[in-house]
Amino acid sequence: MPQGSSQHRPHKVAVIVDEGTNPFEVGVATELFGLPRPELGLPGPLYEVALCTPTPEVRMNHGFFTLSGVPGLEAVDDADTLVVPGRPDNVVPRGEDVLEAIRRTHARGARVMSLCTGSFALAEAGLLDGLRATTHWMWAGLFRELHPKVRLEADVLFIDEGGVLTAAGSAAALDLGLHVVRRDHGAEIANAVSRRLVFAAHRDGGQRQFVERPLPDVREESLGPLLAWAQERLGEPLTVGDLAIRAAVSPATLHRRFRVQLGTTPLAWLTGERVALACRLIERGEERLDVVAARSGLGTAANLRARVRRETGLSPSAYRRRFGPAAGEAVRV
């Protein structure tokens, strides 16, 4: 099961590479979980990654790559997390050996996560029946046709159902991966990983899977300067109206720009940033919840508790025990 930064045994991740698997999602998994991270100052790696295949040699998507010389599917048997990337051909079922590897991994309590259309494999294995799940929006119709027992949500980035997680289109695999790092090791380490990736540190799973960019009559202005300005003032009583005034637009125009450029609303973005800041303050040792609530802009300790629990699944005190200064020797970056 997930390990906090205080526990130095690497969390073992197995990645199933099947016939036709997309190289991008395999790259995402190895980039997120497989690289050494000396910049964190930890006594050992966060994760240990093993690729595994159902046959000694596997041709990946369109034959661009052939993978050989890696373990077989027995590698899933000691994994804490199993990653199932997507592939473009989702009509042809996965091999029974692959589906059985997924089932037995889930049955023993390990975490199973799919990237992009890897959700088809999880559904074929029976892991998603009755659960919420997502997949690439282009394949949503086919997914619903093939797997009607799954509660598909086709317009979100990722869904975390506890032991089973699904990501939408390829880039959303990064969002889910960073979400997993944050759950396992806290906000500070997830932020450090995202900075190395030069990727957004936190996009909530409920954000839209894709952003619509119609050809505008007037060029849209980037939200970048406004976001940077707001991030420096999260402890202040900022409202959506304040953001609109700063951007010199109406609240309706600001809402539209957030939807177009970020796939979310101004309020949801502001709340997410405040929760992330609150988590970092807790990790850095601030124990007074009223101080954390005030400095992060969440207002009250009660609101802080509710928001942190909703985002992390932990109360602030449990979050502190898991990720606070006394939990380990990580150098905060």
Token couple for 124:
């074929």
C-alpha closest to that of 37 among 23, 49, 51, 22 = 49
Helices 240-247 and 251-262, interaxial angle, to 10°?
A: 90
Can you tell me the distance from the alpha carbon of 175 to that of 173, in angstroms, rounded to the nearest whole number? 5
Name, in order, each residue with C-beta under 8 angstroms of 223's C-beta and a sequence gap of 6 or more. Answer: 247, 257, 258, 261, 262
Give pLDDT, residue 240: 93
Give pLDDT, residue 327: 56
Write the single-letter amino acid at 287: E
pTM of this prediction? 0.73
Write the single-letter amino acid at 279: C
- Residue count of the chain, please give it: 333
Query: 281 and 295 in contact (C-beta within 8 Å)?
Result: yes
Can you tell me the distance from the alpha carbon of 117 to that of 326, in angstroms, rounded to the nearest whole number? 40
Handedness of CA 136, 215, 222, 227 (dihedral sign): negative
Can you tell me the distance from the alpha carbon of 139 to that of 158, in angstroms, rounded to the nearest whole number? 15
Give pLDDT, residue 199: 64
In the chain the first and final C-alpha atoms are separated, in Å, by 25
Can you tell me the distance from the alpha carbon of 111 to that of 105, in angstroms, rounded to the nearest whole number? 8
C-alpha closest to that of 135 among 82, 91, 86 = 86
Three-state SS at 181 = helix
Can you tell me the distance from the alpha carbon of 315 to that of 124, in angstroms, rounded to the nearest whole number? 35
Give pLDDT, residue 18: 93
Token couple for 39:
């910049």
pLDDT in tens, the chain (333 residues): 344 444 457 899 999 999 999 999 999 999 999 988 888 888 888 999 999 999 999 999 887 889 999 999 999 999 999 999 999 888 888 999 999 999 999 999 999 999 999 999 999 999 999 999 999 988 999 999 999 999 999 888 899 998 999 999 777 888 899 989 988 988 888 888 887 876 655 555 444 444 444 333 334 578 888 998 998 999 999 999 999 999 999 999 999 898 877 778 899 889 988 998 999 899 889 889 999 999 999 999 999 999 998 888 889 998 888 888 865 444 343
E-strand stretches of the chain: 11-16, 47-52, 57-59, 66-68, 81-84, 111-114, 132-133, 151-152, 158-160, 164-167
Query: 160 and 179 in contact (C-beta within 8 Å)?
Result: yes
Can you tell me the distance from the alpha carbon of 30 to that of 228, in angstroms, rounded to the nearest whole number? 30
Can you tell me the distance from the alpha carbon of 240 to that of 51, in angstroms, rounded to the nearest whole number? 45
Name, in order, each residue with C-beta under 8 angstroms of 159's C-beta and a sequence gap of 6 or more. Answer: 132, 133, 134, 153, 165, 166, 205
Q: How many CB atoms lie within 10 A of CB 113?
A: 26
Query: 133 and 112 in contact (C-beta within 8 Å)?
Result: no
Give pLDDT, residue 203: 54
